[in-house]
Structure 1
Amino acid sequence: MWTGKRLHNESAIWYRSDVPLVELDQDILDHLKSEVRDFGETPSSVLRRLLGLNRGTAPEIAEPRQPPDPPAIHVDPPPCPPTTAPGHQSSTTRNQAPNADQTAIISPHEVDAARHAIDRFMLILKKLYLWSPERFVAVERVKGRRRIYFSRSVAEVAAAGNAVNPQRIQGTPYFVATNLSNDRKVAIMNEVLTLLQVPFPKRPELIRILNTQNMIHQPIELPPLPETMEEKGAIDDDQI
């Protein structure tokens, strides 16, 4: 029912005998009329539809939607390094074989790679230094009547003779004269092995390596160094 009367303030009043009176401005009333969809639709039904109300029920107030919680991200803690009791090596450390080039073990491969007698001479000296750097200083006592064969000073070795061609022993602070005959190399090596007290069973094996015609099939490992050392005389240059 869309009846009403105009008042002094340009508003309209709807009236029905069975419902309360509501005062509306004219523009609101015109808007409600424009929203009528079906024939016989009342102002109350238009307002109920526009306000989203169902007869006999209170309007539902939609709660604001909360954004979903972000998915939990699980991060595994970093693995703890294995602990090793003091004085014990881990299995990884025990299983790592030392580099043969940095041990007092002469391998067949190293001997085979040393093609010349001087190369094998230098190889044995290097291994003897690795065997005991503290005791290797004794090689400075290996001297000829007029020559110095070992020294920490390259100039000292060079000044001891003509064209002695001093070279540094790899991995050591020592220089050695290298322009030597094979017999003199053998004599010097015997003197070094004696001063360092290399056990007798090992000495022939090491001397044998100096001959380039000889090969080894098993590694030669130097045993622990004795506590005492013998005093030896000088090599007679004239006898070699």
Structure 2
Amino acid sequence: MKTIEIDDELYQYIAGQTQKIGESASEILRRLLLGDADAEVVVPTEPVVAAAEVTLNSNIFDLINKQDLQAESSVVGRFLFILSTLARAHKKQFDKVLDIKGRNRLYFGRTAEELSEAGSSTNPKPIPNTGFWVITNSNTTRKKMMLTETAIKLGYSEQDAERIRDLL
């Protein structure tokens, strides 16, 4: 089995072509590109969901690529990767993270300056592919708490929020 990198837009398109639960990307691509007769094709009883709609209604577990996550060698890298994936899954709701704050500091902001002004040694970093920034100088336990709070704000259950936290 080989690994290939594809951009987010293409991934969303492929995910939007899923016709049955558990269908792998290889099965989808084989069906779409090769017209493989061996690939089981299930006619959907509901209309096929467009890729843009999949993005709006997806969750992190549909989008997270564990290989990419494991490729991040640092805790900060994994933290930013998970936040970026949450933002991709919840584009319209992700601004709720701006409500997550510590006792004396902001955790999320729209600019690095906003976070720097709200505390000392915040070491703000951009969350990839978003207009948001996050502080990164906190310890791993605090980062896990921030992920848990983010997941809950985005509508995940307590159990799923813990699963997201444990990805770090």
Pick the TM interval, shorter chain: 0.5 to 0.7
> 1:113 aligns to what?
71
- DSSP 3-state at the match of 1:203: helix
Deviations 1:118-161 (A, max 9, x none): 11111111011001111000000001121011111210101111
TM-score (norm 2): 0.62
| In 2: Cα distance, 1:160 partner to 1:142 partner | 13
* Offset at residue 205 of structure 1 (A): 2.0
> 2:92 aligns to what?
134
Structure whose CA Rg is larger: 1
Moved over 4 A (4+): none
| In 2: Cα distance, 1:209 partner to 1:199 partner | 16
Query: Which 5+ residue runs of structure 1 have no aligned equivalent?
Result: 1-88, 211-240
Give the structure with the higher percent helix: 2
Identity fraction in percent: 28
> 1:191 aligns to what?
149
| In 1: Cα distance, 2:140 partner to 2:105 partner | 17
* Offset at residue 189 of structure 1 (A): 1.3
* Offset at residue 203 of structure 1 (A): 2.0
* Offset at residue 184 of structure 1 (A): 0.8
Residue type of the partner of 1:134? K
Give the structure with the higher percent strand: 1
- DSSP 3-state at the match of 1:193: helix
2:32 paired with 1:95:
yes
- DSSP 3-state at the match of 1:191: helix
Deviations 1:83-116 (A, max 9, x none): xxxxxx8x99x837x9xxx984111211210111
TM-score (norm 1): 0.44
- Give the CA RMSD over aligned residues: 2.5
| In 2: Cα distance, 1:191 partner to 1:112 partner | 23
| In 1: Cα distance, 2:148 partner to 2:66 partner | 21
- DSSP 3-state at the match of 1:163: coil
| In 2: Cα distance, 1:107 partner to 1:165 partner | 26
Query: Which 5+ residue runs of structure 2 have no aligned equivalent?
Result: 1-16, 18-27, 34-50
